[in-house]
Chains A and B, each alone.
Chain A
Amino acid sequence: MHPAPSVIFFTVFSGIGFGLLFFLGLGIPAVTGWTAFAFFVIAYLCAVGGLISSTFHLGHPERALKAFTQWRSSWLSREGWCAVIALILMGLYGAGLVFFGQHWGLIGFLGSVFSVLTVFTTSMIYTQLKTIPRWNTPLTPAMFMSFSLSGGALLAGQTTWAMVLIAIAAAIQIVLWMQGDGALAGSGTDLATATGLGTGGSVRAFEPPHTGTNYLLKEFAYTVGRKHSQKLRIISIGLFAVLPVVLLLLPFSHFIALLAVASHVAGALAARWLFFAEAEHVVGLYYGKR
């Protein structure tokens, strides 16, 4: 899949943002006033910034409101609803904390639930796609949520939680990678089923239907070299998991915490880049790209 920067930023930052909101909604850390304000600003910057960045990916962002109509069937629509509900709830809850010094626990709790749900619905947009076997696994939501929560925990200053969640995220990510490498092959979809020609012998893509490029090739036929991907995987694990954990084990300082966050985010971006770039859409089979 084409690793569109808007979608990578969107999923990583909104994930972290909602992760932070999740913790804030549960009152972790229990902040009020300007401290709360700072936390909420960061959370909203990430979550809303991510959402806004996702609209760059739309052909007609001016019609974005229409995306709320299909919550009964569409995960993207559900994501929209969850995000809006989460943001409203957390807005109310945050307002209480910041301006009224009130901890409206039920609203916070519901906000947390919807924050997590938002990340879940986001992940389901990818998970639901049978066309991309690498994503079509429960590990995808697990990965999204573990990243979201570990990022959230980091930002929320929950060192222990952060270390545990990062370890979980790393574990899930590694399994997802390994499983993903065989996912297309294991999916039962190949050029033979794509063309129905398998009974006659082995099928090979010959001339493509056009010599130039098109939307499908630009969007779906992206490939990453094996070596390149191994390298990036190591770098990304190093950045989102190993380095932050090492840093968190060091005596706490704001600078080091910041460094840990930065490293985690950079690693998460790399991992997310790989998430898209490595994903093989079955349509590539038709073009002999798999």
Chain B
Amino acid sequence: MLSEFGYILLFIITAIVFTAVILFVAKLLRPNRPNVEKLTTYESGEEPDGNANVRFNIRFYVIALLFVLFDLELVFLFPWATVFGNETLNNSTDGLWGWFAIVEMFIFVGILILGLAYAWIKGHLDWVRPEVQEPQFKSPVPISKYEAINKKYS
């Protein structure tokens, strides 16, 4: 088992060394003539305006929380998936093992889906929309006059 994780270690080392070598070689090769225009933040060709450190919508936090919960469920699913179709266990229990395992897992996932459905129906997952402020303005000219002008010049 440890030697199999050794491959992962090799991958990690390769990633670090590869990045370092590429950056170093690029630094050796490239010309270095910075100016103000080159050093500005590139954002789709737009001139950057204001602070990047804005407050995010609180709703993202709920989504992240739900993600962590289902992530935990996934952790339980993994060891189950390796033994659920095990042939020796299935044969020695006359196929009962597989049925038992799948029923248990359906109950486990079902409980969580029940919770998700409850939160969904109760509206806890609704996206908080920013309030649109409609301008309050009463024009002395009736709207039909504007429409008449629009029709005349269109």
The answer to whether A and B come from one shared complex is no
